[in-house]
Amino acid sequence: MSRFWSAVVHGLTPYVPGEQPKLDNLVKLNTNEHPCGPSPKVLEAIRAATGDGLRLYPDPNADALKAALARHHGVRPEQIFVGNGSDEVLAHAFMALLKHERALWFPDITYSFYPVYCGLYDIQPRIVPLAEDFSIRVEDYLPRGDERAGAIIFPNPNAPTGRLLALAEVERIVAANPEAVVLVDEAYVDFGGDSAIALVDRHPNLLVTRTFSKSRALAGLRVGYAVGDAALIEALERVKNSFNSYPLDRLAIAGAVASVEDEDYFRASCAQVIETRARLVADLQALGFEVLPSAANFIFARHPTRDGAELTAELRRRAIIVRHFKAARIDQFMRITVGTDAQCAILVAALREIL
């Protein structure tokens, strides 16, 4: 490698995804997948799309998916951008919309891909600390004199805390920064939040990203999307068409459309996770854990006397995988995906034994 390229590549600090171990006999609660499978109609649609059609390129605009999502959210298809997982949608947004001469503001404890994309796309980050109770403090995102954001990004609910910012608070941030794109990453919103998609027609600077990986149980299919003003979406389309015209393959488009169309399955499977979450929170609290209020399909919990890394390692020895973040302020915590009732019972029994 030449010295130049070696310097560029070595300057990057890539995102390290959660471990994806082989599933045999493991209780895998580390990367927030949905414990139920996707709708059976999704599998049927994918099977039906597996055939001679695979010879042909997919629709570069994924119009069928945009139409289904537009109906689902009550917006126009021109307000929707689709991509290969919301990570890719986020990457396009960083390139097209979040790079500015002023800094990109985001919380100190949040999705760790944001600082990685800042490094990759040469965007100046401004890290805004969460409040003492790990919530996002709206006041910290309002302009003060000449001090204002070039752009803003945060997940709602936040990850890995699970804490939700009320929609009115989200709107205060968006309205107070009309010249900054505000990206609300709603990867987990279907598990208990109100979506900011309801606000996109009022605020041309608001972009909302969503994923099929969590509430639609399709992490393996890699489908994500963004909803916003048509001008923001056009900017994303330009970057996409300069990068990869066919981000979604035929199977992904077919499966995603079927998922959006099976509203009953979607609602029931999210309700199931929400119910299990309530039981898991109560069980962990009974064991002495402090659990942050979660609107997501995971919980963030710490024990007053036991270290998060140590508990994570103890669980691993019992074939239960949860996530620990070696980072300031959250070193005591474990992030635990809400699994099936049976998986959660195994986890709670193991913790009872360990404590």
Q: Rule CB under 6 A: which residues touch ligand PMP?
A: 85-87, 111, 155, 159, 185, 187, 211, 213, 219, 224
CB–CB of 274/191 below 8 Å?
yes
Residue 219 or 291 with smaller CB distance to ligand PMP: 219
Q: Identify the helix (H) or strand (E) that includes residue 337.
A: strand 333-337
Shortest distance in whole angstroms from residue 59 CB to ligand PMP: 20
CB–CB of 339/349 below 8 Å?
no
Residue 85 or 150 with smaller CB distance to ligand PMP: 85
Shortest distance in whole angstroms from residue 277 CB to ligand PMP: 16
Shortest distance in whole angstroms from residue 103 CB to ligand PMP: 20
Token code pair at residue 149: 């954001």
Compute the C-alpha angle 44/48/53, nearest 5°: 155
How far, in Å, are 101, 140, 154, 174 from residue 145 at the CA level? 17, 13, 22, 17
What does the alpha-carbon distance between residue 239 and residue 122 come to, in Å, rounded to a whole number? 16
Q: Helix 86-96 to helix 113-121 angle, to the nearest 10 degrees?
A: 40
Residue 221 or 347 with smaller CB distance to ligand PMP: 221
Q: Annotate 245-269 with DSSP letters as a single string.
A: S--S-HHHHHHHHHHHH-HHHHHHH
How far, in Å, are 100, 117, 135, 208, 219 from residue 204 at the CA level? 17, 23, 26, 11, 30
Shortest distance in whole angstroms from residue 43 CB to ligand PMP: 19
Shortest distance in whole angstroms from residue 160 CB to ligand PMP: 8
Residue 214 or 303 with smaller CB distance to ligand PMP: 214
Residue 159 or 338 with smaller CB distance to ligand PMP: 159
Token code pair at residue 85: 């997982």
CA atoms within 13 A on the CB side of 350: 19
Shortest distance in whole angstroms from residue 155 CB to ligand PMP: 4
First to last CA, the chain: 51
Residue 105 or 111 with smaller CB distance to ligand PMP: 111
Shortest distance in whole angstroms from residue 96 CB to ligand PMP: 17
Residue 185 or 283 with smaller CB distance to ligand PMP: 185
